[in-house]
Amino acid sequence: MQTHRSTRTSGLRALAASLCLSCALGAITLAYAAPGAPNDDLQAVDMSQALRDIPPGYMLIEGDIQIRVTDYERYRVAREQSLAAGEDPQPLGTFITTNFWPGGNVAYEFDANVSAANRTTFRSAMDQWEAVANVTFTQCAGNNCTSGDYIHIQSSTGNNSAVGRQGGEQIINIVSWGEMFRQVHELGHALGLYHEQSRTDRDTYVTINWANIQSGKEGNFALESGSGRYGPYDFDSVMHYGRDYFSVNGQDTITVNPPWNAQWQNAIGQRDHLSEMDQLTMSFLYPESDWRFADGNYTGFIELGSFFYPAKTIGNGVTFTPVNGTLWIQPDTYTAPGTYNKAMTWRAPLGGVLIR
């Protein structure tokens, strides 16, 4: 097994070092291709070949997300119910809440149709996520995965991936070998990220221009009510659609709402970097072993100090956090935990934390 890990000292550690209780970073989610740039994912392709490259039992939604046909049927029924009630179609949010890769360990192999140069590029795309999260991509011995869960990367007629760990072999199709951050985007899906504009609060930040969307493609702009999201809306995310995705007439399908439109209308859908919130969110989905979380707004029954099951109080957060660990605190007003003699770091990347 060949394991490759990027040095993280200049990645997330540097980002985390800049965060404090008074800091307020931007949004966090994800985006897609740059406005006006060639969009290989959405161009007409040889569909007979494209469909052969989609795993059996799967189909495509949102242009590049592989989904089980059985899951889509449930999604379709929920969407039709929303439409019948006069509601905005319910979406496919920013990240899943299950089916992550245990310990951040992702085994992979390349198809024989991926050239040596393209393998190097894709390895660099993996490095982007390894640099900011506790994720390790490990190539199977002899480039041949024979058991367990793993991703199979192949050259195809489009860019697409399933969201999160599927079990057994799962395929990532790539056509944009010359654009590394499109590959980063597909890896983001495989690690558990949906599209940014699918988050349930998106209508506050962007307007979907339904009249400009290609007939039959409206579902690509649906929301995902069951997904998770972290932080404010992230126009800069590498997981966000571009302004004219699936346009029928060349006009914008997504309009950024005031007061953000002047800054972001021409910038949504970038494919050249990870936003600060992309980095932070992925680092929380795949955290360091000594990180713990506190969220005063958490209403769940289980309280473990993890990202999905955070402590409800600072006191419990302190208890969960190991010596020299980091406690990440979500916006809220908290009661001071009293006296404790354990060395640790507190961080509040979204600001809005009052301890009294």
61-115 pLDDT per residue, tens? 777 888 887 777 766 676 677 667 766 544 444 556 568 999 999 999 999 999 9
Q: Answer yes or no: is 23 within a domain.
A: no
* pLDDT for position 79: 62
The verdict on whether 303 is a catalytic residue reads no
Q: Lowest-confidence range among 26-30, 64-68, 153-157, 296-300? A: 26-30
* pLDDT for position 92: 40
Location of structure tokens 């985006």: 31
122 and 41 co-located in one domain: yes
Reply yes or no on whether the pLDDT at 191 is more than 50. yes
Q: Answer yes or no: is 330 within a domain.
A: yes
The domain tally of the chain equals 2
Name the active-site residue from 186, 196, 224, 276.
Answer: 186
- Residue 185 CA to residue 162 CA, distance in Å, equals 12
* pLDDT for position 184: 97
202 and 323 co-located in one domain: no
Over residues 10-25, the mean pLDDT reads 32
Reply yes or no on whether the pLDDT at 60 is more than 90. no
Boundary-marking domain end, from 224, 243, 275: 275
Residue 25: band (very low, low, confident or very high) from pLDDT cuts 50, 70, 90: very low
- Residue 26 CA to residue 118 CA, distance in Å, equals 33
Nearest to 31 by CA among 62, 73, 68, 67: 62
307 and 260 co-located in one domain: no
86 and 159 co-located in one domain: yes
The set of residues, in sequence order, having a beta carbon less than 8 Å from that of 118 and lying 6+ positions away, is: 155, 174, 177
Alpha helices in the chain, H assignment, sequence order: 12-17, 47-53, 69-84, 116-130, 180-191, 261-264, 276-285, 314-320
Query: Which is more confidently placed, 324 or 38?
Result: 324
Reply yes or no on whether the pLDDT at 225 is more than 70. no
- Residue 295 CA to residue 285 CA, distance in Å, equals 15
DSSP string, 147-185: SSSEEEEEE-SS-BEESS--SSEEEEEE--TT-HHHHHH
Hey, is 256 helix, strand or coil?
strand
Q: Answer yes or no: is 282 within a domain.
A: no
Query: Whole-number mean pLDDT of the chain?
Result: 82
* pLDDT for position 224: 67
82 and 193 co-located in one domain: yes
* pLDDT for position 56: 82
Over residues 153-167, the mean pLDDT reads 92
- Residue 223 CA to residue 197 CA, distance in Å, equals 8
Q: Answer yes or no: is 317 within a domain.
A: yes
Question: Residue 174 maps to which CATH number?
Answer: 3.40.390.10
Q: Any bridge partners for residue 256, and if so which?
A: 206
- For residue 203, give the DSSP letter: G
Boundary-marking domain end, from 275, 307, 322: 275
- Residue 82 CA to residue 315 CA, distance in Å, equals 41
324 and 243 co-located in one domain: no
DSSP string, 190-202: HHTB--GGGSTTG
Model pLDDT for residues 281-323, shown as the tens digit of each residue = 999 999 999 999 999 999 989 999 999 899 999 999 999 999 9
112 and 191 co-located in one domain: yes
53 and 188 co-located in one domain: yes
Q: Note the residue count of the chain.
A: 356
Which residue range(s) make up the domain with 262? 29-275
236 and 307 co-located in one domain: no
Q: How many CA atoms lie within 13 A of 20 on its CB side?
A: 2
214 and 164 co-located in one domain: yes
Boundary-marking domain end, from 229, 251, 275: 275
Over residues 134-140, the mean pLDDT reads 98
Alpha helices in 199-304, H assignment, sequence order: 261-264, 276-285
Kindly report the CA angle at 128 between 283 and 7, in degrees rounded to 5? Answer: 80
253 and 315 co-located in one domain: no
211 and 92 co-located in one domain: yes
Reply yes or no on whether the pLDDT at 201 is more than 80. yes
- Residue 230 CA to residue 144 CA, distance in Å, equals 36
Q: Answer yes or no: is 11 within a domain.
A: no
Model pLDDT for residues 253-291, shown as the tens digit of each residue = 999 999 999 999 999 999 999 999 999 999 999 999 999
Q: How many CA atoms lie within 13 A of 32 on its CB side?
A: 29
Hey, is 309 helix, strand or coil?
coil
Q: Answer yes or no: is 19 within a domain.
A: no
Reply yes or no on whether the pLDDT at 8 is more than 50. no
Reply yes or no on whether the pLDDT at 164 is more than 50. yes
Contact, 173 vs 156, CB < 8 A?
yes
Q: Answer yes or no: is 20 within a domain.
A: no
